């Protein structure tokens, strides 16, 4: 494997933070999309990825004073969006483990919140560099927005009341970070980025400060991470999500950090039932500035070089485990070694999906949300006997019906964000299998808790 210091790959940037701090809105403003508006319950429940090409970065960074667009050497950013809702700790952990740099979004009106601190701990544990976006500055009373300006110049032009409120809230948040052993400083005043984490004031909603934030990450990546970002031919590819899509079946979304994936490559992945070996049928990516988790027109590729977020199409991906490497077998004598490597990863993986002989049946559209549901069930001491990714079919109902003879309470399916056709529902009614369906995770959790309480009466 060779490293090429003249060719930098895109840094992978993970956006983390408490629920509703504005992570998705920030990406919407960068992309000029409206993904957040289309989310069920206004919350993110899947991990996502968006590539931001260098041209778009240059254009958006122009607003930051002293930023030289000609200095951009990286081909762009690959940005990973994560959910802030507490149920999705698995996806925050996965996103933060896949990235080179993180953006920790904090709501200036709320300060540090439980999932801010959870995210902070993940970053500190892994030593991942990060920048804090101090978001929703437009909510300072009397704030006047101007997304075209450098945020620091613009703050100086605000009324004295706005400046005072900013200072008070900022200082309170500095103290909260200090209580978590993190020193922070505004990015324009930070002389020592090894000791102090930079903060950039932003309005994800209106766009103020977003240029400063992106410019800071461009400079930081090129100055501090150049070695890490030197393109390497050795494959470094991790499964980010396993997703069932209409017409495509089970697909895997991978973060290809280094190396190249090609159509026809023989891949080896870890599956719950053992190593999976398959051939890449197609490689898909959304257009630039589009989100991989939003169903849309994907572009087809014969070959893709990292760093990119890629949807891999191949047969037999149903039992793939997320968060683990995808290997490519280049020579036939490698295959057994790679399978053994994939098998080794399995033990770690199986602890998160440990089934019981008696328990409920759980189905979800993605592995990430399935894992989140399983964590919830564990916390409630509710066992699960079977899991599946994708729409509910009659065979799922049949499997769930097997519980009627063992423990009728468990003869039910928890179906998150997956369709249940009318004939399947009718079949379930005849078989006495309850199907709980929801597209907001805490609704499903609440419905099931209510059902359990009813049974106890």
From 84, 95, 209, 368, residue interacting with ligand GTP (rule: CB under 6 A) = 84
- 419 forms part of the interface with ligand GTP (CB under 6 A): no
In the list ligand GTP, Na ion, Mg ion, none, the entry touching 25 (Cβ below 5 to 8 angstroms by class) is ligand GTP
447-450: list long-range contacts, CB under 8 Å, 24+ apart: 448/360, 448/382, 448/412, 448/414, 449/380
- Contact between 139 and ligand GTP by CB under 6 A: the answer reads yes
Provide the minimum distance between the beta carbon of 305 and ligand GTP in the complex, in angstroms, as a whole number.
30
- Cβ closer to ligand GTP: 43 or 307? 43
Residue 376 partner contact from Mg ion, Na ion, ligand GTP, none using kind-dependent CB cut-offs of 5 to 8 Å? none
**253 contributes a contact to Na ion by CB under 5 A:** no
* Region of 52-60, 202-210, 258-266, 275-283 interacting with ligand GTP (CB under 6 A): 202-210
Phi, psi of 278 (to 5 degrees): -150, 175
CA distance 277 to 137: 50
22: contact with ligand GTP by CB under 6 A: yes
Q: Which stretch binds Na ion (CB under 5 A): 6-14, 19-27, 145-153, 337-345?
A: 19-27
Q: Which is nearer to ligand GTP, 135 or 251 (CB)?
A: 135
**Cβ atoms of residues 101 and 128 within 8 Å:** yes
C-alpha span between 120 and 16 (Å, rounded): 9
- Distance, CA of 68 to CA of 11 (rounded, Å): 19
205 binds, among Mg ion, ligand GTP, Na ion, none (CB under 5 to 8 A by kind): ligand GTP
Task: List binders of Na ion among 145-204 (CB under 5 A).
Answer: none
Residue 20 interacting with Na ion (CB under 5 A): yes
391 vs 415: CA distance, rounded Å: 8
Task: Decide whether 20 or 241 has the Cβ nearer to Na ion.
Answer: 20
**Residue closest to ligand GTP, measured at CB:** 84
Block residue for tokens 């930051």: 64
Q: According to CB under 5 A, which residues from 43 to 102 bind Mg ion?
A: 44
For 421-430, b/e burial (b = at least 16 CB within 10 A) is: eeebeebbee
Minimum CB–partner distance for residue 85 and Mg ion (Å): 9
Minimum distance from residue 28 beta carbon to Na ion (Å): 11
- Assess contact for 401 and 444: CB atoms under 8 A: no
Q: How far from 211 is each of 152, 204, 208, 349, CA to CA, in Å? A: 11, 11, 8, 39
- Are 19 and 27 in contact by the 8 Å Cβ rule? The answer is no
Tell me if 183 sits within 8 A of 197, measured CB to CB: yes
Q: Minimal distance in Å, beta carbon 271 to ligand GTP?
A: 29
Would you count residue 23 as binding Mg ion (CB under 5 A)?
yes
CA atoms within 13 A on the CB side of 315: 4
Task: State the minimum distance, in angstroms, from the CB of residue 235 to Na ion.
Answer: 35
Residue 24 contacts Mg ion per CB under 5 A:
yes
Choice between 42 and 419, CB closer to Na ion: 42
In 3-state terms, what secondary structure has residue 197?
strand
Among ligand GTP, Mg ion, Na ion, none, the one that 139 touches (CB under a kind-dependent 5 to 8 A) is ligand GTP
From the list 77, 130, 166, 205, which residue makes contact with ligand GTP (rule: CB under 6 A)? 205
**Per annotation, catalytic residue among 85, 154, 300, 443:** 85
d(CA 422, CA 175): 55
Among 12, 43, 103, 232, binds ligand GTP (CB under 6 A): 43
Q: Are strands 130-135 and 101-107 parallel, antiparallel or unpaired?
A: parallel
Residue 95: CB minimum distance to Na ion, A: 16
- Dihedral angle computed from the Cα positions of residues 69, 73, 76 and 77, in that order, rounded to the nearest 10 degrees: -100
Q: Does 25 bind ligand GTP (CB under 6 A)?
A: yes
The CA–CA distances, whole Å, from 359 to 2, 377, 381, 388, 434 equal 50, 10, 10, 14, 13
Q: Is 85 a catalytic residue?
A: yes
> Which residues within the stretch 34-63 sit at the binding site for Na ion (CB under 5 A)?
42-43
Q: Which two tokens stand for residue 423?
A: 């004939």
**136 lies in the site for ligand GTP, by CB under 6 A:** yes
| Residues with a known catalytic role | 85
Q: Can you give the binding site for ligand GTP, defined by CB under 6 A? A: 17, 19-25, 36, 42-44, 83-85, 135-136, 138-139, 203-205
Q: Can you give the binding site for Mg ion, defined by CB under 5 A? A: 23-24, 44
């Amino acid at each position: 494997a060779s490293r090429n210091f003249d060719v930098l790959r895109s840094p992978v940037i993970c956006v983390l933070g408490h629920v509703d701090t504005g992570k998705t809105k920030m990406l919407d403003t960068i992309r000029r999309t409206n993904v957040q508006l289309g989310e069920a319950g206004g919350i993110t429940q899947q991990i996502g990825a968006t590539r931001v090409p260098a041209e778009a970065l240059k254009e958006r960074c122009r607003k930051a004073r002293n930023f030289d667009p000609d200095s951009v050497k990286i081909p762009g950013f690959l940005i990973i969006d994560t959910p802030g809702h507490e149920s999705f700790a698995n996806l925050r952990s996965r996103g933060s483990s896949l990235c080179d740099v993180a953006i920790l979004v904090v709501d200036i009106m709320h300060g540090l919140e439980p999932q801010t601190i959870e995210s902070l701990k993940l970053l500190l544990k892994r030593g991942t560099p990060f920048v804090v976006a101090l978001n929703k500055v437009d909510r300072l009373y009397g704030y006047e927005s101007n997304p075209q300006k450098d945020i620091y110049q613009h703050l100086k032009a605000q009324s004295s009341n706005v400046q005072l409120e900013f200072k008070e809230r900022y200082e309170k948040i500095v103290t909260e970070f200090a209580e978590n052993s993190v020193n922070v400083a505004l990015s324009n005043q930070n002389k020592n980025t090894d000791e102090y984490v930079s903060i950039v004031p932003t309005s994800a909603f209106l766009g103020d400060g977003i240029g400063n934030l992106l410019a800071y990450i461009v400079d930081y990546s090129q100055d501090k991470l150049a070695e890490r970002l030197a393109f390497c031919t050795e494959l470094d590819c991790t499964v980010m999500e396993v997703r069932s899509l209409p017409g495509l079946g089970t697909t895997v979304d991978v973060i290809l950090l280094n190396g190249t994936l090609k159509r026809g490559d023989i891949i080896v992945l870890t599956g719950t039932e053992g190593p999976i070996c398959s051939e890449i049928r197609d490689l898909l990516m959304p257009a630039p500035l589009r989100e991989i988790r939003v169903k849309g027109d994907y572009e087809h590729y014969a070959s893709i070089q990292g760093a990119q977020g890629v949807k891999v199409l191949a047969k037999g991906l149903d039992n793939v485990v997320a968060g683990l490497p995808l290997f490519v077998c280049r020579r036939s004598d490698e295959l057994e070694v790679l399978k053994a490597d994939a098998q080794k990863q399995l033990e770690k993986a199986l602890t998160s999906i440990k089934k019981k002989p008696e328990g409920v049946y759980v189905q979800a559209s993605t592995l990430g949300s399935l894992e989140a549901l399983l964590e919830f069930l564990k916390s409630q001491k509710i066992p699960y006997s079977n899991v599946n990714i994708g729409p509910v079919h009659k065979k799922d109902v049949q499997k769930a019906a097997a519980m009627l003879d063992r423990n009728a309470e468990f003869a039910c399916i928890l179906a998150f964000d997956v369709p249940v056709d009318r004939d399947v529902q009718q079949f379930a009614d005849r078989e006495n299998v309850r199907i709980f369906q929801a597209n907001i995770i805490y609704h499903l959790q609440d419905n099931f808790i209510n059902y359990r309480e009813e049974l106890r009466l």
